[in-house]
Chains A and B, each alone.
Chain A
């Protein structure tokens, strides 16, 4: 039995995973995001790079038009507890089943709240390229 068009998302022997990467909110530090973009590129993914000062609205426009598999947002401004759940909620409200991975400075005690909010993964300082790629692959696979 063949899968219907919208079920085709298995990534083995399949087209590259498409990831939208953005800095969400007021935060000018995009060095980490650029490093992650390069890690994902070298991991065989297609990275739609939005860069600095994005809002949940601009990210949703991009996710919709690019038919992205995963959203990666980078926050080094301690906004993750506010903006992380807001991003997840905004995608859900828009009817977009696209997992969110957060990169940045996230203290351990904040992780349960992000899990509860439905964040698919959190990457911190020192994450290796393999870990970053594996986390995004797992997030993409979680769409089923």
Chain B
């Protein structure tokens, strides 16, 4: 019997054709899936090549946040909700219906990376086997240290899929709790998936996730208490109407679709609801504004990352230097005050450090 790992000689010969970013972008525009996949990898890895992909795909798409000359901007739909709500199963069944309607959908499915090892188990394809067979392009993404329910590279990866002619592009977030609402600034339409058993009407009225929804799906609606969830959501939306609380520029009450993802109940309606939402956004002149906001949000998240990266080891150094050397006096001051003092030091050091980072990137 075999015991342990065996490494055998006789490896597969290298046969890959090496292509430049420009060639890959051209092939992706022609709809070549493998070129799309490789561009997604480059964007995900970051650095100079990712910048080149970003620049080339941005200009190939017309260089504006909204409509491009050749109409290659996809409807970007964010799908979010708690872990185990059935997001992947729902997306799979829904995408199959879109293929039947003649669409060419793609899915970016995000799962969390381990904060300890950086590893991840990306399990969304398990629920999406039928969608793959139907021709839906699916890419699994690990968060790679990014908080907020998405990965830093997601907006850039969406653009690569748009370039490849996929429409709509669905971004499925990690299973989220209450405050991971990044998806709201990364999509045209946000679908929040909820299920029976998530709490009472007070939960539904807490701030956070439910506020960013353009649409709701009550999944697992064959469960007995599904009607209660629907009622709580309706009540929550009534109160939003009462206080005039809604996302900027949208006066529409989010629609609620009852679904059973495992049997396909409600998926056609869901497809209708998302299409209707896009039409309404467009007719109300809000779509362009949302896409401009997406662009600004992407700039912000890249800036955040640059600042975080450059501040991280400086912060560690400062904390070690001032707090860990047994300086008992520090402990007599409040943590917030110590932090403010350190922030001033940090600002000075970061300017120098950031110059270095930007140089390295060239």
Question: Do A and B actually bind?
Answer: yes
CB distance from A50 to the nearest CB of B (A): 6
Cβ contact within 8 Å between B120 and A47:
yes
Closest A residue to B41 using CB positions: A67
Closest A residue to B38 using CB positions: A67
Closest B residue to A16 using CB positions: B118
Closest A residue to B123 using CB positions: A49
Cβ contact within 8 Å between A127 and B49:
no
A-side contacts of B226, CB under 8 Å: none
- Contact mask A103-144 → B, CB, 8 Å, 1/0? 001111001001110111111111110011011001100111
Cβ contact within 8 Å between B24 and A135:
no
- On chain B, the number of residues with a Cβ less than 8 Å from chain A's Cβ atoms is 53
B-side contacts of A120, CB under 8 Å: 7-8, 11-12
A-side contacts of B337, CB under 8 Å: none
User: Do A97 and B12 form a contact, CB below 8 Å, given A5-B20, A126-B3, A134-B5?
Assistant: yes
CB distance from A118 to the nearest CB of B (A): 5
Q: Measuring CB to CB, which residues of chain A are less than 8 angstroms from any residue of chain B? A: 2, 4-8, 14-16, 37-38, 40-51, 54, 58, 61-62, 64-67, 88, 91-92, 95, 97-100, 105-108, 111, 114-116, 118-128, 131-132, 134-135, 138-139, 142-144
Closest B residue to A134 using CB positions: B5
Cβ contact within 8 Å between A58 and B139:
no
A-side contacts of B49, CB under 8 Å: 5, 8
CB distance from B115 to the nearest CB of A (A): 12
CB distance from A101 to the nearest CB of B (A): 9
- B16-62 interface (Cβ within 8 A of A): 16-21, 24, 33-34, 37-38, 40-42, 44-45, 48-49
Closest A residue to B42 using CB positions: A5
User: Do A47 and B119 form a contact, CB below 8 Å, given A4-B20, A58-B133?
Assistant: yes
Cβ contact within 8 Å between A127 and B4:
yes
A-B contact pairs, 15 of them (CB 8 A): A16-B142, A41-B120, A47-B122, A48-B140, A58-B132, A61-B132, A62-B125, A65-B37, A65-B138, A67-B37, A99-B11, A107-B2, A115-B10, A118-B12, A131-B5
